[in-house]
């Protein structure tokens, strides 16, 4: 089992990990999360993971997953970095066929595996994707785009020497003249 620098095996058979009661814990840098690259800004974020495998009383292969950390998402309004705190605690149950899930769905988050061996980092990335906000956006008062819009609006506030009605009156006069 080749260990990557993330402390996670590149690929592993989750059923055997459950048999053996294997536990994994460590840190992932934002740069390690390749599948999320397009959704993240910068490279500063890190998160701590814990993944504990075991067999439950019914013999299901399950894993308790905890993720805690902070990632930098891309704000969809100003495209700037938006620090986002991630806290996930879930229990995954692994199956090779959908029909095996049965009542497991009420206690666990079922994961159907197409292959026996999976990348544990892929599993973690999948859970992060599920936890992400649908649209990442700063609070209005913290967003650069909102500040810009506010600044523009202030710019358009009429000054004392503006006489919009004078202009309108001139326009009306012209109209009257034309219809004559
Ligand atoms: Zn923003």
pLDDT exceeds 50 at position 2? no
pLDDT exceeds 60 at position 49? yes
pLDDT band at 1 (very low <50, low <70, confident <90, very high): very low
Q: 169 C-alpha vs ligand 1 centroid, how far in Å?
A: 42
Beta strands in 9-113 (DSSP E): 12-13, 23-29, 46-55, 61-74, 81-95, 109-112
Sign of the torsion formed by the C-alpha atoms of 96, 61, 88 and 27: negative
- Cα separation, 132 vs 87, in Å, equals 10
Residues 60-92: b if buried by 16+ CB within 10 A, e if exposed? bbbbebbbebebbbbbebbebbbebebebeeeb
Q: 135 C-alpha vs ligand 1 centroid, how far in Å?
A: 11
Q: 133 C-alpha vs ligand 1 centroid, how far in Å?
A: 14
pLDDT exceeds 70 at position 5? no
Instruction: Give the pair of three-digit tokens for residue 38.
Output: 């397009």
Percent of the chain with pLDDT strictly greater than 90:
50
Q: 47 C-alpha vs ligand 1 centroid, how far in Å?
A: 22
Residue-wise pLDDT for 125-166, tens only, equals: 999 999 999 899 999 888 988 877 778 887 766 665 555 566
Residue-wise pLDDT for 56-101, tens only, equals: 999 999 999 999 999 999 999 999 999 999 999 999 999 999 888 8
More confident residue, 142 or 16: 16
- Cα separation, 67 vs 60, in Å, equals 22
pLDDT exceeds 70 at position 8? yes
Q: 80 C-alpha vs ligand 1 centroid, how far in Å?
A: 6
CB count in 10 Å sphere of residue 164:
8
Residue 97 CA to chain centroid, in angstroms?
28
Q: 146 C-alpha vs ligand 1 centroid, how far in Å?
A: 7
0.85 cut: is pTM over it?
no
């Amino acid at each position: 089992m080749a260990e990557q620098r993330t402390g996670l095996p590149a690929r592993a058979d989750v059923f055997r990990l459950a048999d053996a009661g294997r536990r994994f814990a460590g840190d992932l840098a934002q740069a390690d999360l390749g599948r999320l690259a397009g959704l993240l800004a910068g490279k500063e974020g890190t998160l701590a993971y814990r993944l504990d495998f075991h067999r439950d009383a019914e013999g299901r292969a399950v894993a308790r997953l905890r993720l805690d950390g902070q990632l930098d998402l891309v704000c969809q309004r100003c495209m700037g970095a938006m620090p986002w705190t991630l806290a996930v605690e879930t229990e995954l149950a692994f199956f090779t066929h959908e029909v095996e899930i049965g009542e497991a769905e009420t206690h666990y988050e079922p994961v159907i595996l197409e292959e026996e061996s999976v990348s544990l980092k892929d599993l973690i990335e999948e859970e992060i994707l599920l936890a992400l906000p649908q649209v990442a956006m700063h609070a209005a008062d913290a967003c650069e785009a909102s500040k810009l819009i506010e600044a523009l609006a202030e710019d358009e506030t009429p000054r004392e020497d503006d006489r919009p009605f004078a202009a309108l009156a001139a326009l009306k006069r012209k109209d009257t003249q034309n219809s004559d």
